[in-house]
């Protein structure tokens, strides 16, 4: 049984990124669920462009990288084995660097693909393609397995019929939380998700996953969490983390810090999900990316502000460990002040 | 000199609501500044409809009510004096109840118009129209004068070249703050305003007023205040108040509570502007309006969520007195715990 089988439409492998018939199809998360449309890539270079253009995001680029390597292999059909390996090494190098911030993790995926190719014995191109496709699926399965552990542990922290507020889109985490809630019979749980402007991942992606998997979900705008936490009696606040530093700071989609502070004020636990990052001993070494401010002044491409008005667009914010009730990982739930234990 | 002369375009009387040539023109604040367009009313009934349709908001409906009475008078030109008074009384009654929540204050404006009409002596219809128009202008001037007091007092709380974060649209308050900052030479002050979804009054109205009056303004989305308060070194956080209860709770556009809490966390003062309400001894008697949730699931009329996803739309939230650094009124700055002093 495939690990993604019971998950929402947009979390299933075929809808994240998938090689078939000599092309890679990537669900366009920029417009989902308004439209279900795929960007179809005829070359691994087009896969790179799709990743750069943010057709897919969160965990999506990792799947696209794996499938991009299958496509690279397909493109190399007429080459000799040696030429093919060299071609694949070039593809790996280029795909890994599609986006600078994720290159380390991307590199591991594409380099492993090349390694498996080198180790494998194949007599036909069909066999090789099958080997590469199986690797891409195995890689995604391994990623989902780890996320499933995280989701299960978080699900077990949610009280019976509790109300959960999430922040932004945590890719498969919400899917596996719900799978676990179903397993344990805690099906009365409901969700509330801020829309997370400017790209509305909360309203579009998180809410769609929850709705798709049959649980109740309410969307709110990003200025409503205070009222909603208190009046709708939220039990758990949670978010993923783009980075958890070893001194317990959570860097995540902008808005997380204020959810954590509000949760603290109202006596609600705030849990972040993810893995502490050994490369950042302290928050001091983390630089917060500020993106193109014009995106803040637009809604679905329409500019709404007067000429001359400026904007700020920090993509992330920083939540201090004192506001984090627990860091939920694949190995267990840790105190934000004791993250070294994760590596013991 | 008219009190609105140095204010931003959208705060000038002619652009809020204005009687001329037998009609009332109301700036359409629903689309400003994307488009500068006026709803033109040929009858006071059309003014009522414009108020109900939210063509204008905040202080706008009060100006529209005054000008609506001028238009009612114009419509009654062929009537006898007695019939005219009866017609005007009917108009007053109807305009006052255009929206239920503001009817008390609206009633005062339109009833005063009728009273002045009754007290006045006029020989021609032109004379009467002039009297009515002068009343409407005087009423708006009196309202602006009070707001000017508030704005001046708040301006004096802003440090030299300080950074001010506002919440939503406080009508003329921001205009008079800037007028005062100019008077006192504190022209290096800059502003940051969350966009305030779903209708973006912060991005569209507040930011336009500030830009129009020559001060620097940055718009942010509603999930960015935490990062921005800290990283851009905000000095003062401020908002208007739809209601200030006598026990010091501030009911205002949703999002205010979380700004106040963040300000408190970062050691920044949060000032609300307005007048304590004697009709609400405690917050217990206030009911928070929840509006049509479909508006939360839309951006500029386009639905963005999956079918079946729900939403909440509380229009306001409640900030407790412990998070309010001062209530800035036309008479002075009061502690939220000592609002009875305002009435001494």
Residues of B in contact with A302 (CB under 8 A): 34, 300
Which strands form A38-41's sheet, in the order they lie side by side? A17-20, A23-27, A38-41
Q: Would you say how long chain B is, in residues?
A: 344
Q: How confident is the model at residue B197 (pLDDT cuts 50, 70, 90)?
A: very high
Taking only the tens place, the pLDDT of each residue in A295-327 is 999 999 999 999 999 999 999 999 999 999 999
d(CA B144, CA B293): 34
What element of type H or E holds A154?
helix A125-155
Q: Specify the pLDDT at position A100.
A: 83
Q: Specify the pLDDT at position A303.
A: 97
Q: Is residue A39 helix, strand or coil?
A: strand
Which has the closest alpha carbon to A228: A163, A177, A157, A169?
A: A163
- Chain centroid to Cα B334, Å, comes to 21
A295 phi, psi to nearest 5 deg? -65, -25
Does the CB of B197 have a partner CB in chain A at under 8 Å?
yes
Q: Which residues contact A266 (CB under 8 A, 6 or more apart)?
A: A229, A230, A234
A113 phi, psi to nearest 5 deg? -60, -45
Structural domains in chain B, sorted by start = 9-146 (1.20.120.420), 158-343 (3.40.50.10470)
A267: number of Cβ within 10 Å:
7
Q: How confident is the model at residue B104 (pLDDT cuts 50, 70, 90)?
A: confident
Q: Specify the pLDDT at position B102.
A: 81
Taking only the tens place, the pLDDT of each residue in A123-169 is 999 999 999 999 999 999 999 999 999 999 999 999 999 999 999 99
ipTM value, please give it: 0.95
Q: Contact, A163 vs A232, CB < 8 A? A: yes
d(CA B193, CA B74): 41
Peptide bond into A198 cis (omega under 30): yes
User: What Rg, from alpha-carbon coordinates, does chain B have?
Assistant: 21
Looking at chain B, which residue has its C-alpha nearest residue A310?
B218
Q: Where are the alpha helices (DSSP H) in B157-197?
A: 172-183
Taking only the tens place, the pLDDT of each residue in B218-230 is 999 999 999 999 9
Q: Specify the pLDDT at position B317.
A: 97
A299 CB-side CA count, 13 A: 23
**Cα angle for residues A195, A199, A203 (degrees, 5° grid):** 30
Full DSSP string of B30-87: TTTTT---EEEESSHHHHHHHHHTTSS-TTHHHHHHHHHHHHHHHHTTTS-HHHHHHH
Cα first-last separation, chain B:
32
d(CA B128, CA B80): 13
Q: How confident is the model at residue B134 (pLDDT cuts 50, 70, 90)?
A: very high
Q: Specify the pLDDT at position A264.
A: 98
**Do A312 and B207 make contact, defined as CB atoms within 8 angstroms?**
no
Give every residue of chain A whose pLDDT is below 70, as ranges. Answer: none
Question: Which two three-digit tokens encode residue A63?
Answer: 């799947």
In degrees to the nearest 10, what's the CA dihedral of B92, B94, B95, B98?
A: 160
Our CA-based measurement puts residue B271 at a distance from the nearest CA of chain A, in whole angstroms, of 18
d(CA A219, CA A231): 15
Does the CB of B343 have a partner CB in chain A at under 8 Å?
no
Q: Which residues contact A127 (CB under 8 A, 6 or more apart)?
A: none
Q: Where are the alpha helices (DSSP H) in chain B?
A: 13-16, 44-52, 60-75, 81-96, 103-119, 125-155, 172-183, 201, 207-212, 225-231, 256-266
The yes-or-no answer on residue B112 being catalytic is: no
Q: Specify the pLDDT at position B103.
A: 86
Question: What's the rounded mean pLDDT across residues B145-153?
Answer: 98
Taking only the tens place, the pLDDT of each residue in B267-315 is 999 999 999 999 999 999 999 989 999 999 999 999 999 999 999 999 9
Which strands form A250-253's sheet, in the order they lie side by side? A276-277, A243-245, A250-253, A316-319
Q: Contact, A164 vs A192, CB < 8 A? A: yes
- Would the pTM of this model clear 0.90, i.e. be above it? yes
Question: Which two three-digit tokens encode residue A241?
Answer: 């983390």
Beta strands per DSSP E along A294-343: 298-299, 302-303, 310-311, 316-319, 326-328, 333-334
Tell me: pLDDT of B17 over 80. Answer: yes
Tell me: pLDDT of B136 over 80. Answer: yes
Q: Contact, B198 vs B295, CB < 8 A? A: yes
Question: In chain A, which among 299-338 make CB contacts under 8 A with chain B?
Answer: 299-300, 302-314, 316-318
d(CA B72, CA B92): 9
Tell me: pLDDT of B62 over 90. Answer: yes
**Do B306 and A207 make contact, defined as CB atoms within 8 angstroms?**
yes
d(CA B244, CA B248): 6
Question: Which two three-digit tokens encode residue B18?
Answer: 């204005």
Q: What does the mean pLDDT of chain B come to?
A: 97
Does the CB of A36 have a partner CB in chain B at under 8 Å?
no
Residues of B in contact with A283 (CB under 8 A): none
Of the candidates B226, B231, B297, the beta carbon closest to that of A219 is on B297
């Amino acid at each position: 049984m495939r690990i993604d089988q019971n998950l929402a439409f947009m979390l299933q492998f075929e809808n994240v990124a998938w090689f078939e018939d000599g092309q890679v199809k990537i669900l366009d998360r920029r417009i989902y669920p308004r439209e279900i449309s795929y960007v179809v890539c005829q070359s691994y270079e087009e896969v790179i462009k799709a990743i750069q253009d943010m057709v897919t995001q969160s965990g999506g680029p990792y799947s696209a990288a794996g499938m991009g390597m299958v496509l690279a292999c397909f493109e190399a059909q007429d080459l000799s084995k040696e030429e093919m390996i060299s071609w694949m090494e070039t593809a790996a190098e280029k795909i890994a660097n599609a986006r600078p911030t994720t290159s380390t993790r991307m590199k591991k995926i594409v380099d492993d693909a090349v390694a498996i190719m080198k180790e494998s014995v194949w007599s036909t191109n069909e066999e090789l393609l099958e080997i590469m496709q199986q690797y891409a699926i195995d890689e995604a399965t391994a990623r989902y397995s780890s996320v499933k552990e995280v989701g299960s542990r978080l699900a077990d922290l949610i009280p019976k019929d509790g109300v959960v507020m999430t922040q932004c889109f945590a890719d498969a985490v919400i899917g596996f939380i719900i799978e676990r809630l179903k397993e344990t019979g805690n099906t009365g749980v409901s969700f509330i998700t801020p829309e997370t402007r400017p790209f509305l991942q909360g309203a579009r992606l998180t809410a769609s996953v929850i709705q798709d998997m049959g649980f109740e979900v309410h969307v709110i705008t990003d200025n409503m969490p205070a009222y909603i936490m208190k009046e709708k009696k939220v039990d758990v606040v949670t978010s993923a983390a783009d980075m958890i530093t070893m001194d317990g700071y959570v860097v995540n989609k902008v808005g997380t810090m204020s959810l954590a502070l509000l949760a603290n004020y109202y006596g609600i636990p705030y849990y972040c999900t993810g893995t502490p990052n050994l490369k950042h001993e302290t928050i001091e070494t983390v630089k917060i990316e500020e993106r193109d401010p014009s995106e803040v002044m637009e809604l679905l491409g329409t500019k709404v502000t007067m000429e001359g008005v400026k904007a700020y667009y920090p993509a992330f914010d920083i939540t201090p460990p004192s506001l984090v009730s627990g860091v939920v990982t694949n190995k267990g739930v840790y105190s934000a002040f004791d993250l070294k234990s994760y590596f013991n």
